[in-house]
Amino acid sequence: MAEIDRRDFLKLVGAGASVASAGCWQDPVEKLIPYVVQPEEINPGRPVVYASTCQECGVGCGLHVRTREGRPIKLEGNPDHPINRGSLCARGQASLSRTYHPDRYRRPLERDAEGSLAPITWDDATARLAAAIGKASGRVALLTAPVGPTLGGLIDQWFTAVGGGTRVTYEPFAPEALRHASETVFGVASVPVFDLSDTDFVIDFGSDSLGTGLSPVEHARQLAAARNASRAEGREARLVYVGPRQDTTASAADEWLAPQPGTEGIVALGIARAAIDAGAVPGGGLAEATVTIARQLSGFDPASVEKRSSVPAATIRRLGAAIAKAKRPVALPPGVALTSRRATATAAAVLVLNAAVGAVGKTVRLTAATGAAPSYRDVALLVDAMRSGDVEVLIVHGVDPVHSLPSDSGFGEALANVKLVVSTASLPDQTSVRAHLVLPDHTPVESWGDAEPRPGVRSIVQPTLRPLFDTRAFGDTLLDTARAMGAQGLPEGSFRGVVEAAWQDTDWFEVLQRGGVFASVAPATGTITEGLARLEFAEPQLEGEGEFVLLAVPSPLLGDGRGANLPLLQETPDPITKVAWQSWAEISSGAAEKLGVKTGDLLAVETPYGKIQVPAWPRGGIRDDVIAIATGQGHTVGTYASLAPAGTLTGPARGVNVNDLLPSLTDESGSRAWLTARAQVRAAGGFQRLPFTQGTDNKRGRLLGERISLVALASGESPWAANESPQEPHGIPAPGGHGEEGAAAAAAAGHSEEHEMLRRYDPVNDSTADDPYRWGMTIDVDKCTGCSACVVACYVENNIPTVGEPGVLRARQMSWLRIERYVGDGEQTLKTGRPGIQNSEKLGSVDVRNSPMLCQQCGAAPCEPVCPVFATYHTPSGLNGMIYNRCIGTRYCSNNCPYKVRRFNWFDYQIEGWPEPMALGLNPDVTVRGQGVMEKCTFCVQRIQLGRQNAADEGRPVLAPGEVKTACQQTCPTQAITFDNLKLPDNTATAVAKANEGRTYHALHVLNTRPAITYLAKVAREEGHEG
């Protein structure tokens, strides 16, 4: 061997070191740069909250935009806002992700010679638009979603300034028929406000009021409160649902009627007639109208109504008597799915029912008309004008008509005749990809604006983020275009100034703080008009042949399709079927058997207007002659909305667009009719695996999603008392006291020193003796409607990634909180072979338990002892802590968790879950979990920490009751979730549980996991227990 001298040695060492260091690389250096001048309101680590207004749908809920270091990270309801009172729905929760969406248009774009969209400057873009408008000489159309009063006023001014044009307001789900009905019946052309607070009888004629109705968050809150109050007073607040399909509201109802779709109006009139027979008196200054009403109702005796609608006469009489007796009854008119070609008459019939039982003026408030109302008739006229070449410039703002109008309407073809199509979409949609000019608008959290959802409620939209990209507010685009044309008569300055000027009459700073001006306005008065007599109450006409009535159901998550490109909404399972990321067609189990199809088998659905293939979802809760397909899917544009290959925007459609099957038909008053067609359905002979998150609604009698009858509740005997009693090991006598009763006593008496297996079951015992906290929760299954707002709130708050359709197909969705939907107590059936979907729903009967399932923070948690590295452990405050850094990913904890609430990072979702710039919206208080670690709910421990730090700053040793709210609790419209420190004698969670003694149970209690969550069983309000 050759000798190595010192020099060779040094050379080798040097070469080796350089090779070794070249082989490694460093992560790029990122610097935390402090503010040079600290903005006054920004305190690093503390959230700053701004009041604003949700723009996701037309309801106009108030928002609190929670920002951290200048970035909005979470939307919450504004507690001061009269519509939503602090809650928010799933769509509202998810809407923040529009801002951080990877698909966003980042600058204005112009279609170039090759037909693709190329960047352009704002000056050139407005110049081009201005030139086109100048040349069009009034043949300009502006198609917008309903906009706020300020923007609406500006649009009118703008039209005057630029030489005229057509303004069309379009909202696919607008309650136009109801507005027309109100005009026809009462002479007031606006949508009445239905008030469910303190109600004792609600009958919903298919509006899915708690899911997709007129104001779901508000109605769900009011109904839950009414039920709660009435139960406490020994009364009853009853919800009756009339509709062909068991949707969110039917699932929460006490009684469900499923008449022939389209006959809801006839049923309403039958009930009105029965109510008058039972002595109902019209109130609200309508007494003189009794004659008109009675005349109108003469033909609607229960027997003939039974013949026409298949609802038994006895039921009609019973409901009539019940609504006549009710003190604050409400009847809700049909929603989108049931707007037939006689929708105005149907809505009018329901208004007549309200009038007949004296609800008008009490629970049904007529309101003065506000703003430009959406009109489908205008849209149809616009399409005609476009087709005949009478529109040279079309500006589309806030809507996606190519997707949401029926293909039969011809909008898509007519668009080709428009010389200049301008889209202001901030996210690409099917209309914007066909535009010649894309002038992207800011997203709501970047915008100024306002809304007036109902008279007296003026709500502000204020920006909380400097625009991320080179976008421009639509108002400013209008102003700049007009200025480029040299038009006169428009306000100076920017749109922000216009908004501020519009609010001159208010205290601007208070408006910004509170989110608006909320006053109660006296309801408009109306009187029964003769117009009512002109309406014909008859079965609607349905186009086409076929055994099935096609029901286009508004999706509670995707809406008309505007939510389809938000991954959070795609991944949140449908509250009823638990399907995510796909379309499905609901048919009855009987019909499925006849067609020979099972879940996922493709159905060929054909109407005279189109043909689609869609996987079947057989279920019990739908009429045999109805096929229901949800709106919202079927997009061909968007990373998440379509099946676009990675890195592209357009691709094959994800799911189906029900508009492809529907005609462009209207009802008597010109509003869009959705219930218009019969469909021929046959098995198409294929199969598609549907990504669903729950395969059975049979809970097999296990202690999950319980229900108790009012009678049993009144008897004071809890069926779960045996489980709630102390968990004594054999041979060891239980200490005195009982279940929840003992909680406060134990808290007062201090901590039990016995071994944990010997202690009486009381969550208070499951934290360290000298720790002032034991966090616990009470969840009221009776209040939960399954709306899934909590699920989405949890995703946003806790930086939970979405996994897409392939992930959900493997049940890898990361949801820390899921809503289980069980029907009935279930049977312990033992089936063989590979399981199909089990569905125990029955037409016309309701026993649905929506039970939120999240980490139970068990006192004797099965997950804790099995972790070899203490990555999950019991904190002194009684939580099951999860240390992501310590986790090595054995997944033993999840195997041993009976509630199956732990989720595993199968891939590096840090990278895959948040494509740029989505990561900007992450909550900085919550670790983003890396590949290969387990994660789960920890009762929003970051919020607990923030609360404790605040308390410490203020010198308080212990947080006050109810001071910390978890994200799920905060957003729940019905306040089904109460979270608090169980060690405080006056804590809210124990208080709710104590107030509902007899309904309390703990999930899977027999396993002795000592959960910190107390569930309150659903209440069965049996037939004949009215009043």
> What is the binding site for another protein (CB under 8 A)?
693-696, 698-702, 704, 807, 810-813, 818, 820-822, 826, 828, 830-835, 853, 862, 865-870, 886-892, 894-896, 898-900, 903-908, 930-934, 1004, 1007
The rounded distance, in Å, linking the Cα atoms of 1008 and 757 is: 9
User: What residues does 890 pair with on adjacent strands?
Assistant: none
Non-local CB neighbours of 667 within 8 Å, separated by 6+ positions: 177, 180, 339, 340, 341, 342, 343, 344, 345, 673
User: What residues does 83 pair with on adjacent strands?
Assistant: none
Query: Nearest Cα to 455, choosing from 100, 197, 193, 799?
Result: 193
Amino acid at 31: K
Closest to another protein by CB, 272 or 800: 800
Closest to another protein by CB, 700 or 956: 700
Closest to another protein by CB, 107 or 891: 891
DSSP string, 574-588: PTTT-B-SS--EEEE
Work out how close the CB of 784 gets to another protein at its nearest, in angstroms, rounded to a whole number.
14
Work out how close the CB of 60 gets to another protein at its nearest, in angstroms, rounded to a whole number.
35
The rounded distance, in Å, linking the Cα atoms of 623 and 289 is: 37
Closest to another protein by CB, 469 or 906: 906
3-state secondary structure of 998: coil
CB distance 563 to 91 below 8 Å: yes
Please give the helix or strand (H or E) that residue 384 lies within, else none: helix 376-387
The rounded distance, in Å, linking the Cα atoms of 926 and 903 is: 16
CB distance 935 to 882 below 8 Å: yes
Non-local CB neighbours of 680 within 8 Å, separated by 6+ positions: 544, 545, 546, 547, 548, 605, 606, 607
Work out how close the CB of 889 gets to another protein at its nearest, in angstroms, rounded to a whole number.
2
Closest to another protein by CB, 35 or 870: 870
Work out how close the CB of 321 gets to another protein at its nearest, in angstroms, rounded to a whole number.
39
Non-local CB neighbours of 688 within 8 Å, separated by 6+ positions: 582, 600, 602, 615
Closest to another protein by CB, 130 or 704: 704
Work out how close the CB of 102 gets to another protein at its nearest, in angstroms, rounded to a whole number.
21
Determine if the peptide bond prior to 917 is cis (ω within 30°): yes
Work out how close the CB of 912 gets to another protein at its nearest, in angstroms, rounded to a whole number.
9
Closest to another protein by CB, 235 or 886: 886
User: For residue 524, what is the DSSP state?
Assistant: B
Ramachandran assignment for 279, one of left (phi > 0), alpha (psi -120 to 50 degrees), beta (any other): left
CB distance 242 to 833 below 8 Å: no
Work out how close the CB of 852 gets to another protein at its nearest, in angstroms, rounded to a whole number.
11
CB distance 143 to 422 below 8 Å: no
Radius of gyration in angstroms for the set of CA atoms belonging to the chain, rounded to a whole number: 30
- Residue 1008, CA distances (Å) to 481, 724, 744, 757, 861 in order: 69, 10, 21, 9, 9
Work out how close the CB of 570 gets to another protein at its nearest, in angstroms, rounded to a whole number.
18
Work out how close the CB of 913 gets to another protein at its nearest, in angstroms, rounded to a whole number.
12
Non-local CB neighbours of 438 within 8 Å, separated by 6+ positions: 105, 108, 109, 110, 117, 422, 423, 424, 425, 432
Four-CA torsion 2, 7, 12, 17, nearest 10 degrees:
160
Work out how close the CB of 854 gets to another protein at its nearest, in angstroms, rounded to a whole number.
12
Closest to another protein by CB, 419 or 891: 891
Q: Kindly give the interhelix angle for 343-356 and 264-277, rounded to the nearest 10 degrees.
A: 20
Closest to another protein by CB, 716 or 868: 868
Work out how close the CB of 235 gets to another protein at its nearest, in angstroms, rounded to a whole number.
33
Closest to another protein by CB, 783 or 874: 874
Q: Give CA 555 to chain center in angstroms.
A: 9
Work out how close the CB of 804 gets to another protein at its nearest, in angstroms, rounded to a whole number.
11
Work out how close the CB of 794 gets to another protein at its nearest, in angstroms, rounded to a whole number.
16
Task: Say how many residues make up the chain.
Answer: 1027
Q: What is the distance between the terminal CA atoms of the chain, rounded to a whole angstrom?
A: 104
Closest to another protein by CB, 106 or 891: 891
Closest to another protein by CB, 503 or 906: 906
Positive/negative CA dihedral, 690, 694, 695, 697:
negative
CB distance 209 to 171 below 8 Å: no
CB distance 356 to 293 below 8 Å: yes
The owner of tokens 């030489």 is 163
Closest to another protein by CB, 416 or 888: 888
Work out how close the CB of 865 gets to another protein at its nearest, in angstroms, rounded to a whole number.
4
Q: Alpha helices, DSSP H only, in 777-857?
A: 789-797, 804-809
Work out how close the CB of 935 gets to another protein at its nearest, in angstroms, rounded to a whole number.
11
Closest to another protein by CB, 122 or 907: 907
User: For residue 728, what is the DSSP state?
Assistant: P
Q: How many CA atoms lie within 13 A of 621 on its CB side?
A: 27
The rounded distance, in Å, linking the Cα atoms of 955 and 963 is: 15
User: What residues does 818 pair with on adjacent strands?
Assistant: 853
Closest to another protein by CB, 312 or 836: 836
- Where does 348-418 show beta strands of DSSP type E? 364-365, 393-397
Q: Kindly give the interhelix angle for 313-325 and 264-277, rounded to the nearest 10 degrees.
A: 60
Work out how close the CB of 320 gets to another protein at its nearest, in angstroms, rounded to a whole number.
39
Closest to another protein by CB, 115 or 833: 833
Closest to another protein by CB, 44 or 836: 836
Closest to another protein by CB, 397 or 578: 578
Work out how close the CB of 524 gets to another protein at its nearest, in angstroms, rounded to a whole number.
47
Work out how close the CB of 703 gets to another protein at its nearest, in angstroms, rounded to a whole number.
9
